[in-house]
Amino acid sequence: MMPRMDGFEMCRQVREESLTSHIPFIMLTAKSDEADRAMSYNCGADAFLSKPFSIKTLTTRIEGLIASRAKLQELYRKKMLSDPSEIKVESGNDKFILHIVQIVEANFQNPDFNIQTLCDALCCSYQYVYRKVKALIGETVNDFIRTIKLKRAAQYLCAGELRISEILYKSGFNSHSYFTKCFKKHFGMTPREYVEHYHTTNEQTTASAGNSTQEALSAENSE
């Protein structure tokens, strides 16, 4: 009911534009029948409120969307950083973040790699990349790049095939002290402590599984 385009078309264009596709969208409208509600959700709206509406209801809905987006950011971050090669690309946002991960990983050992290099590879401006990463992941571009490196370092550590001094360079760090500082800030423990914790946890899990199997066999034999 707006000039030049209605709310349905505006919502549709917001969802189709990569720069704005991630933004939560609430439809506030004088229309109230089920067909209009269905049309709103088909266009990509996150919520539909008919006029007149209370400010309390609107505020509560906004807070709910913000909270759900924060949870989605965490899930998105875990999914994209676990094993990118096995990620099923389901949306343009998935493709965008996966592309960033792949570019960063391909340049781990490139001493000249920086944010501008990343933006050039994406053919996007810094402002665009910053806004999308912040909205989808909840981190700045710098923090996200560092998180990718630390996640890979942790995987190398758990594999146990390389020394810490080899892992830090393979993960894109040039300083042992800086690597240790970043790693401890992210995981709450040093790389060496992380390895020890990983092996201890695995040993306990293996022992527990072995005990359960032995108990099951003993019970079967007693029968």
Per-residue pLDDT tens over the stretch 160-201 = 888 888 998 888 888 899 999 999 998 999 999 998 888 877
Q: What percent of the chain has pLDDT over 70?
A: 84
- The per-residue pLDDT for 118 is 92
Residue 1 lies in a domain: no
Total Cβ atoms within 10 A of residue 202: 11
137: its two tokens:
């992941």
* Position 137 confidence tier, pLDDT thresholds 50, 70, 90: confident
Largest distance between two CA atoms of the chain = 81
- Name the residue among 29, 25, 19 with its Cα closest to residue 49: 29
- Can you tell me the distance from the alpha carbon of 208 to that of 218, in angstroms, rounded to the nearest whole number? 15
Residues 81, 85, 88, 94: is their CA dihedral positive or negative? positive
pLDDT at 32: 81
Domain limits at 101? 74-138
Residues 103 and 172 in one domain: no
- pLDDT for 213 beyond 50: no
CA-closest candidate to residue 132, choices 212, 50, 18, 208:
18
- Residue 215 binned pLDDT confidence (cut-offs 50, 70, 90): low
Q: Is residue 80 part of a domain?
A: yes
pLDDT tens-digit map of 61-101? 999 998 888 887 787 777 666 655 455 556 677 788 888 88
The residue with greater pLDDT, 29 or 206, is 29
CA angle 77, 79, 83 (to 5 degrees): 115
The DSSP secondary-structure symbol of 21 reads: T
Q: What local confidence, expressed as pLDDT, does residue 95 receive?
A: 81
| Same domain, residue pair 131 and 152 | no
> Token pair of 122, please?
């994406």
Average pLDDT of the chain, as a whole number: 82
Query: How does residue 18 score in pLDDT terms, banded at 50, 70 and 90?
Result: confident
Question: Do 133 and 177 sit in the same domain of this protein?
Answer: no
Looking at the structure, do residues 89 and 43 belong to the same domain, yes or no? no
3-state secondary structure of 48: strand
Contact 133, 100 (CB under 8 A): yes
**Higher confidence at residue 10 or residue 98?**
10
Residues 147 and 222 in one domain: yes
Point out the domain boundary residue: 88, 115, 138: 138
Mean of the pLDDT values across residues 154-164? Answer: 87
Indicate whether 64 belongs to any domain. Answer: no
